[in-house]
Amino acid sequence: MSAYSRAEAREWAREKLVGAVNCTIPSFTNDLRGMNERAIRHDIRLAKKHGFIGTLGVSEVSISLPEYLEFLRICKEEAGEDFYVVHHASWNDLEQNLEAVRGAEEAGADLVLLAYPPNFYPESEPEVYGYTKAVCDATSLGIILFPMTIWNFSARIHPSDIPTRLIRRLIDDIPNVAVIKAEGGYPNIQSAVECNRLFGNEVVISVPIEGDLIPLSQVMPIQLSATSDHEFYGPMIPRVMRLLRDGKFDDATEIYWQLHPARKVKAALFPGLHGGSVLNRQAWKFQGWLQGYNGGPLRQPTMRLQDNQMAALRKCLVDARLEPSMDPFREFFIGRNPA
């Protein structure tokens, strides 16, 4: 049962969503036949310890919908009331996404990150509007609207992926649109600036890319960074967001440059992590493992990690003075809580 009504979603988001939201990728038993509850709980506890206010329960892995809803239930049970679980509305088609969002609400999710299926090929703004409204109308949960290059809308709909005139209509017509994850036309900062200017007094604007978040927060108010693979930096993003809220811009800038070696290497190794056509969830899981999260095996099909990639990710964290795990790489594929 949601802690707020559809009509209260924006007010709730403004009050509660202050900080950083990371990502939690499902953990499986080592035979890959079931969920690893102990490992999932480990990841939620560590995210809370690192100072995150919530986590995205990632669905873009090889997992059935019943398993995913079990995963969300475990996450929320471990999270408690003050740590928010975000449903990842990224399933095969509209029908399955409607089933998933209703199930996620029953499982205790607090928010919904709206995605668009790979086989969804709209050729007009009304088609994007219709899909978006159908999912939003199926739940009382607050919606994170997500303009993003990966949807492949830019050539047919607008260079910003979801134009602000359409966002305006969605905000006007759908009361539970509560957050905009402003990555339209990535890589650039225009979407964040434009959404803040046009909609910042009505909904929460999230800047998920920390390389944009830290400088932009020094010239415009940003209360939320959700959702992203912030776990790669351990507790640093929640820490820097507190500094930014307190106006300690020199200290925040120092952290920006401290993280720069890791930021550059991650972007060079996996350019699809943000703004590309493929997200390497195996890499995200490894990034978390370097900071003490569970790691562990993922089912086929999954992208692979090579030794040189893992070594580069670990070294760049050393260069950023973040003390990553020095355990043998083989341990990542077993996980910290094998079952």
- Domains along the chain with CATH numbers: 6-249 (3.20.20.70)
Contact 153, 161 (CB under 8 A): yes
**Predicted confidence band at 275 (pLDDT cuts at 50, 70, 90)?**
very low
Residue 254 pLDDT > 70: yes
Residue 203 pLDDT > 60: yes
DSSP per-residue letters across 219-240: TS---EE-SS-GGGGTTHHHHH
Contact 84, 130 (CB under 8 A): no
Cβ-proximal residues to 118 (8 Å cutoff; 6+ apart), any chain? none
Residue 230 pLDDT > 80: yes
Structure tokens at 32: 């890959």
pTM of the model: 0.97
Residue 276 pLDDT > 80: no
Contact 226, 181 (CB under 8 A): yes
pLDDT in tens, 50-89: 999 999 999 999 999 999 999 999 999 999 999 999 999 9
pLDDT in tens, 106-159: 999 999 999 999 999 999 999 999 999 999 999 999 999 999 999 999 999 999
User: For position 325, what pLDDT does the model report?
Assistant: 98
User: For position 277, what pLDDT does the model report?
Assistant: 57
Output the average pLDDT for the chain: 96
Q: What mean pLDDT do residues 271-299 have? A: 86
pLDDT in tens, 293-307: 999 999 999 999 999
pLDDT in tens, 21-56: 999 999 999 999 999 999 999 999 999 999 999 999
Contact 23, 58 (CB under 8 A): yes
User: For position 1, what pLDDT does the model report?
Assistant: 73
Cα separation, 85 vs 110, in Å, equals 5
Whole-number percent of the chain with pLDDT over 90: 96
Reported in sequence order, the residue ranges of the chain that DSSP labels E, i.e. its strands, are 19-24, 54-57, 84-89, 111-114, 142-145, 177-181, 204-206, 224-225
DSSP per-residue letters across 145-196: E--BGGG--TTTT-TTSS-HHHHHHHHHH-TTEEEEE-BTTSSSSHHHHHHH
